[in-house]
Amino acid sequence: MSLVIIRKTASAEAWLEALARLAPELRVHVWPDTGPVDEVEYVLSWAADPSVIASFPKLKGILSLGAGVDHVLTDATVPRHLPVVRMIDDTLTRRMVQYVVLAVLARHRRLDEMRANQAASLWKRPSLPDMQVGIMGLGEIGRACAEQLAALGYAVAGWSRHGKPVPGVEVHAGAEQLPAFLSRSDILVCLLPQTAATANVLDRGTLSMLPRGAYLINVARGDHVVDADLIALVAEEHLSGATLDAFRKEPLPPDHPFWTTPGITVTPHVAGWTEPATAARHVVQAIDAIDAGARPRGLVDRATGY
C-alpha cells in the first residue's frame, strides 16, 4: 500500500518525516514520483491538477492537506464513490483561533485608532462600547473560535446550516434565521466552507443586514466576499472596515483596491496552516479507519460540500 503526496508549491519533506515516524510500513511518494500507480491507495492532496487523482486505478480515499475540500470536489474526474477526508489538526485550529481573537480584539479595542493617535502625539482614550460577535460557520474551527471568544466575555452568536448547539453561544440556523443573526453582529467572522451555496454569500444584501458600523473578518475563502460590495459599504460607512486573510486571487494583485481602502486590513493568507508534525496522526488514523471499513473523522458529505 502506498500514499502519494500532491502539493505543487511547497516541500513535502516534513510530511515524509512525520509519516515515516507514525506509519513506517506506509510507502509514501511525492508527486510526480508516484511509484507503481496500481499500488497507490491514498492521496494526500492540495489543488491537484484535474485528472491527476483519477489516474490512480486502485485508490481508496482522498485526504485533503487543508480544512477545505473544494479543490477535490470541483474536480469532475474524481470518482464520486471515493471518500474525501478534510484535514483536522489541533495546531491548525489553534492558529486560526489566535488569528480570529487577535482581529476581534484589535477592532474592539480600537488598536488602529490608538496607533493613529500615537503618530499625532495625541493622548486620547478611545471609546470602547461592548460589541457582539457573530461566527458564520460552526465547523471544527468555527466552534473553537466561538468558545474562545465567549470565554473572553463576548456575547457570541453562531450561524450554520443546521444550528448544532455550542456551549455559551447563541446559535442560529438556516436562511430564515440569518437576518436576525446578522442584525446583532457588530463583528462578523466568516468561517464558512467553500461550496456552491456559500459562494458570494457576503454581498451587499447580506452585509447590509449588519448594524451600521459593523466590522467583517474573513478567514474562510475569498469567493465568499463580493469585493466591490464590501468596498462600497465601507466607503458609505455602513461598515467600519474589514480584516481579510483570503482572496479570490492569491497573491492579491498589487492594483487591487483592498490594499488602499481605508479601514481594510490585508494579511497574506496566514491565519492558519497545517503542521505535518501534528497533522500526520490524523492522516494515519483516517487511512486506518477506511481500511477497517469505519467512518474516518472529517469525512466529507458530498451533498453539502463539507
Q: By the 8 A CB rule, do 287 and 61 touch?
A: yes
**Residue 300, in any domain of the structure:** no
**Residue 243 domain flag:** yes
In a shared domain, residues 259 and 117: yes
In a domain, 301, yes or no: no
Alpha-carbon dihedral 165, 168, 169, 173, rounded to 10 degrees: 20
Q: How far is it, in rounded angstroms, from Cα 172 to Cα 183?
A: 12
How many other C-beta atoms are found inside a 10 Å radius of the C-beta of residue 149?
23
Tell whether 70 and 169 lie within a shared domain: no
C-alpha cell at 200: 458570494
**Number of domains, the chain:** 2
Q: Do 80 and 113 lie in a common domain?
A: no
User: Domain check: are 242 and 94 in the same one?
Assistant: yes
Distance CA 8, CA 303 (A): 28
Known catalytic residues?
A: 221, 269
Q: Are residue 255 and residue 201 in the same domain, yes or no?
A: yes
Taking the model in full, what pTM does it have? 0.94
Rounded distance, CA 241 to CA 130, Å? 17
Q: What is the DSSP letter of 267?
A: -
* CB contact at 8 A, 275 and 294: no
What percent of the chain stands above pLDDT 90?
97
The mean per-residue pLDDT over the stretch 195-218 comes to 97
Residue 248 domain boundaries? 90-266
What tens digit of pLDDT does each residue of 136-163 get?
Answer: 999 999 999 999 999 999 999 999 998 9
Per-residue pLDDT band for 10 (boundaries 50, 70, 90) equals confident
